[in-house]
Amino acid sequence: MDVELHLKVQDLNARYVHAIDEDRLEQWPEFFAEDGRYRITTVENVERGLPLSLMYATSRAMMRDRINSLRNANVYESQRYRHAVSTPLIEPGSDGVVRAVTNFLVARIMHTGETTLFATGRYEDRIALDGQARFLEKTVILDSRQIDTLLAIPL
Amino acid sequence: MDVELHLKVQDLNARYVHAIDEDRLEQWPEFFAEDGRYRITTVENVERGLPLSLMYATSRAMMRDRINSLRNANVYESQRYRHAVSTPLIEPGSDGVVRAVTNFLVARIMHTGETTLFATGRYEDRIALDGQARFLEKTVILDSRQIDTLLAIPL
Amino acid sequence: MDVELHLKVQDLNARYVHAIDEDRLEQWPEFFAEDGRYRITTVENVERGLPLSLMYATSRAMMRDRINSLRNANVYESQRYRHAVSTPLIEPGSDGVVRAVTNFLVARIMHTGETTLFATGRYEDRIALDGQARFLEKTVILDSRQIDTLLAIPL
């Protein structure tokens, strides 16, 4: 077992969710490679082989646009996320690329203070670990299909 | 501190909850020794010294029967779990056997998409780490006693 | 990356939350240095620079008083917490002192069995790792401001 590799992935996950949870959304694209892919879908879509996405980006530039829209539309200010992220399952690949699967639970806190269990699911990630660790691909697979209309901030 | 031992236990926990959360229940008995024990009880039962169990198995064969019943009764299809598992507390023993205590929160997602915080508690495990890591004994201690009639899938 | 340091902090976090979740509250002050500081506040207070606290202690003696009051007032028996704690973000400092930031979700279980997502937020800690690992300072930053009147047990 490659101990350092495990901790690098855990550390990347921790930095990723803290940036979101602390509303440092401008940093979000920086966790991805320049042509990194980000997709939110549901377990139902995955099991049926459907290519549907609730959020989709294929570059850092698209992610920056997304955050700009959010900030201007001012939607994000009324809510916050808090992630609980479990230990990832890791499968080392070739060329310094690692696959990781990670469970998450996300609470949403409205500006009134109302707190709900907002989203659950797993991340399926491909990560480049040479140099600064970055996501080549991050697929967020939600357990529930009831979430789409409420989804503003990336997960 | 034995770093590798800690990560082996974390890895076993991660594989265990992923198998359940992704509905690969046929793999569930394989996480146990042939004569492994699995028990779900409540903190109230433990504190009163009561031997009551909400689910109980003393071998892989019994666990396979449980899963067969579930599949045939077709109950499991209407719901899913998602576990958040914290870092285990580990106490190395003799003969390659380790004791681990691990907090968990489990969300339940109905096929309608309705998501609730379903169960909380701790795992108290005895784990054999020589060769393939396996549970010799896994006791699931639930914080709440309100759960029993709803319990279909192992936790 | 200092692997052992990461696991020491994870282990301290795990022991800390287990002591609380298993109602061994008398052990709670022992996780702090003799003049350790403990404070619960909200993200709103932090962002506005307000020094308001929902709970505050500047020594182990004050923490022991707090637990004594709890036990005598007998409030704590009617409820339990269960923490889900994520991987900490760690920043090593000088003199064996480490800064750690850790996400948490806390479920509260009433004696009736009713379970709710009670509190979410992050720990911002300064930890002394020479000898027995201990908190020099622990700040609990809650995401929601709706919690104060319900807060009995430390988080």
Per-residue pLDDT of chain B in tens (155 residues, 90 and over written 9): 688 899 999 999 999 999 999 999 999 999 999 999 999 999 999 999 998 899 999 999 999 999 998 888 765 558 899 999 999 999 988 888 999 999 999 999 998 899 999 999 999 999 999 889 999 999 999 999 887 566 788 99
Determine which of B82, B85, B120, B132 to mutate to test the interface with A (most A C-beta atoms within 10 Å). Answer: B82
Please report residues of C whose CB lies closer than 8 A to that of B121.
82
Selected residues 43-72 of chain A with any CB under 8 Å from a CB in chain B: 43
- Taking residue B37's Cβ as centre, other Cβ atoms within 10 Å add up to 18
Region C15-42: mean pLDDT is 97
Considering only CB atoms, C7 lies closest to which of B6, B43, B119, namely: B6
Check B3 against C3: CB less than 8 A apart.
yes
CA C27/CA B69 separation, integer angstroms: 44
Beta-bridged to residue B122, according to DSSP, are B103, B141
Counting residues of chain A whose pLDDT is more than 70, the rounded percentage is: 95
> For C12, which residue in chain B has the nearest alpha carbon?
B89
How many contacts (CB atoms, under 8 Å) link A and B? Answer: 74
A13 touches chain C (CB under 8 A): yes
C122 touches chain A (CB under 8 A): yes
Please give the pLDDT value at position C72. Answer: 85
Decide if C30 contacts C15 (C-beta within 8 A). Answer: no
Please write the tens of the pLDDT for every residue from C60-104. 999 999 999 888 876 555 889 999 999 999 998 888 899 999 999
Give how far Cα B66 sits from Cα of B18, B29, B58, B154, C67, Å: 19, 10, 12, 9, 44
Check C82 against B101: CB less than 8 A apart.
no
CA A153/CA A109 separation, integer angstroms: 12
Please give the pLDDT value at position A76. Answer: 57
Token couple for A143: 């357990």
B115 touches chain C (CB under 8 A): no
B113 touches chain A (CB under 8 A): yes
Residue written as tokens 């992704």? Answer: B22
The interface predicted TM-score of the complex, written ipTM, equals: 0.91
A115 touches chain C (CB under 8 A): yes
Question: Measured at the alpha carbon of residue B108, what is the angle toward residues A77 and A98, in degrees to the nearest 5?
Answer: 75
Region C142-153: mean pLDDT is 81
The model's pTM is 0.94
Q: Which residues contact C150 (CB under 8 A, 6 or more apart)?
A: C118
C41 touches chain B (CB under 8 A): no
Considering only CB atoms, A3 lies closest to which of B4, B14, B83, namely: B4
Please give the pLDDT value at position B74. Answer: 62
Check C82 against B3: CB less than 8 A apart.
no
User: What is the distance in angstroms between the Cα of A7 and the nearest Cα belonging to chain B?
Assistant: 9
Please write the tens of the pLDDT for every residue from A4-44. 899 999 999 999 999 999 999 999 999 999 999 999 999 99
User: Alpha-carbon Rg of chain C, whole angstroms?
Assistant: 15
Please give the pLDDT value at position C48. Answer: 92
Determine which of A8, A143, A148 to mutate to test the interface with B (most B C-beta atoms within 10 Å). Answer: A143
